[in-house]
Amino acid sequence: MFASYFDESGTHNKRFLVVAGYTAEVDRWANFSHRWNSILVEHGLSHFHAKEFRQAKSKIYAHLSQQDKNGALSALVSIIAETAIFGSLVILSPHHYDLLTTPKFRSHFGTSFGVAAAGIAACSVARLQEFRPGNHRLGIFFEQGHKNITQALDLIRFRKEELEELDTTGFDRVLIHPNAHWSTHPPDDPLRTHTVKIGAMGIGGKRDMPPLQAADLLAYCVYSGLIHNDTGFAKAVIDELDRHVPHYFSHLSPEKIKKHVEKVIATENEFKATRHKLHLFSKTFRSSEIELVSDVQKIGIKTVSGSPLPPRIVRQFDEILLGDIPDEPD
């Protein structure tokens, strides 16, 4: 069992949004949490928060000298380096994303945070497939509190379903539209043949999930380097982490966002056309049922023994098949 923990930085900034975190074995995360908390207790800290750590007037770290702060940070970075298999980062501009999408699109198919969260989860699954070939489940966990976290988990849950193998027992073949993309992947699609599947998903607080504090440090350093040009602190931390742990970076540029939006809209239009055809077929099928029942009533329904069916059964049969047929939706 493996788990990935992610946090974001830049929620209140439209220029950049960073979602980042680390992946490791579950038992290694347990050992990580024990060691991490020991360092915090040793330095009189309840938790580690990178932004507060960088603030000179932060009350959380006021009792520590600069030397002690540096020592604590160095120890925490070492624990991350000795635990994580790899780190993942996704960066996009909420400003560009909002310009290229409508409120309706974002409501149905994901906000900038939702897309970034789903993207980093998918990337982590793919990377784990490379680093640890075999049948594995990868748990996905995020820092709680973001207003779009529920939607993000829904998108990841959708991705989880796409990765699961289809049970085609009893079917000679499975008919699936060759151009379908979002929710209908053929049984032999590479997505479904991945041996790494998404497992448990959830959210939590930094104090209860120490691995989220590691994700916070990475997200903050990347964001701080981009926005505030904090090349000293941020670069030093990232360089040290990158010496021991590979980090994979994905930038969802405006061009990539535009292609993503176009693909989603095209696929949704295909689904709408298919749903309309199915609705028309349903109406035609119901009409045929009415004609069939009328013919049966004229002939008279008989049991195998030759005696008529009880009136109550015939009446229920009529109510089921001759019920009100809803009008076609607009």
Domain ranges, ordered by start, for the chain:
2-252, 280-321
DSSP state for residue 169 in the 8-state scheme: T
The better pLDDT of the pair 2, 317 is held by 2
What digits encode the pLDDT tens for the residues 192-203?
Answer: 566 889 999 999
Question: Cα separation of 326 and 243, whole Å?
Answer: 64
Amino acid at 184: T
Residue-level pLDDT at 307: 42
Question: Cα separation of 37 and 49, whole Å?
Answer: 13
Q: What are phi and psi of 18, to 5 degrees?
A: -115, 130
In the predicted structure, residue 100 carries a pLDDT above the cut 70 = yes
CATH of domain 2-252: 3.30.420.10
Q: What are phi and psi of 127, to 5 degrees?
A: -65, -40
- Comparing C-alpha atoms, which of 141, 154, 114, 116 is closest to residue 5? 141
What digits encode the pLDDT tens for the residues 24-55?
Answer: 999 999 999 999 999 999 999 999 999 999 88
Contact (CB, 8 A) for 40 and 177 = no
Residue-level pLDDT at 287: 54
pLDDT classification of 101: cutoffs 50, 70, 90: very high
In the predicted structure, residue 179 carries a pLDDT above the cut 50 = no
Contact (CB, 8 A) for 140 and 121 = yes
Question: Cα separation of 81 and 37, whole Å?
Answer: 16
Residue-level pLDDT at 55: 85
- Look up the pTM and report it: 0.77
Residue-level pLDDT at 162: 76
Structure tokens, 151: 């939607």
Q: Kindly write down the DSSP assignment for every residue of 11-75, as one continuous string.
A: TT-SS-EEEEEEEEEHHHHHHHHHHHHHHHHHTT-S---HHHHH-TT-STTTTS-HHHHHHHHHH
What digits encode the pLDDT tens for the residues 136-168?
Answer: 999 999 999 999 999 999 999 988 887 777 655
What digits encode the pLDDT tens for the residues 253-296?
Answer: 999 999 989 988 888 888 777 777 776 766 565 555 555 444 44
Give counts: helices (H), strands (E), the chain.
12, 6
End-to-end CA separation in angstroms for the chain: 48
Query: Pairing between strand 86-92 and 17-25?
Result: antiparallel
Non-local CB neighbours of 166 within 8 Å, separated by 6+ positions: 174, 187, 192
Half-sphere exposure of 101 (CA within 13 A, CB side): 28
Amino acid at 246: P
Query: Pairing between strand 247-252 and 86-92?
Result: parallel
